Amino acid sequence: MSTYEATSPPEGATCQSDHCRSAAVVRLIIPRPRLTADGLHTHADAITTWDNCDLHWPGFRDVCVRSGHTVLDRTGDLRELASASPEWAIFASDGGRLYASRRLNGHGTTVDAYLVGPLRAQMQAVDADVRD
C-alpha cells in the first residue's frame, strides 16, 4: 500500500483519462517502487504523475482508495483550514469534493474544490469581497 499525493496541476495541464483532454484540476503523484535485479524494492526516484479533470477525478480517487492506497492532499490540511476559518462551515462529500460556506448579509455563499489549496483561495476571494 502506498501514499499517493494529490496536488494542483501546472497551468495548462489536461486530463490524462482516455480521449478527455479537459483542463486538469488534480495531479496525483504516484510512487513507483522499482524492482532491482535481486528482487528487492527500492523507493528511489521512480515517480509517475496522473492529471485529472473534475469529471474523472472522483472515480479515479475512489479506485485508489478502494485499492488500499492513501490519497494525501499536499495543498493543505482541511482541519487546519476549518479551525483557521471559524466563519466558514467546511465539509467534504463522500466523493472527496470539499465545500466551504458562510453567510454574507443574510445570504449563503458556498465555494467548492477538490483540494484544500484551491478551496482556501476561493474562500479568501470571498473574504476579500466582504472587506471591500
Residues within the interface to Zn ion (CB under 5 A): 15, 17, 20, 22, 53, 56
How many angstroms separate the most distant Cα atoms in the chain?
66
Q: Which is nearer to Zn ion, 56 or 120 (CB)?
A: 56
Q: State the nearest-atom distance from the C-beta of 14 to Zn ion, in Å.
A: 8
Q: Which is nearer to Zn ion, 15 or 90 (CB)?
A: 15
Q: Which is nearer to Zn ion, 33 or 59 (CB)?
A: 59
Q: Which cell is 86 given?
A: 471559524
Cell 466582504 sits on residue = 130
Q: State the nearest-atom distance from the C-beta of 20 to Zn ion, in Å.
A: 3
Measure Cα distances from 130 to 5, 71, 86, 102, 127 in Å: 33, 34, 15, 11, 5
Q: Which is nearer to Zn ion, 20 or 71 (CB)?
A: 20
The CA-CA-CA angle for residues 56, 12, 63, to 5°, reads 20
Q: State the nearest-atom distance from the C-beta of 59 to Zn ion, in Å.
A: 10
Alpha carbon distance 132, 113 (integer Å): 24
Q: State the nearest-atom distance from the C-beta of 55 to Zn ion, in Å.
A: 5
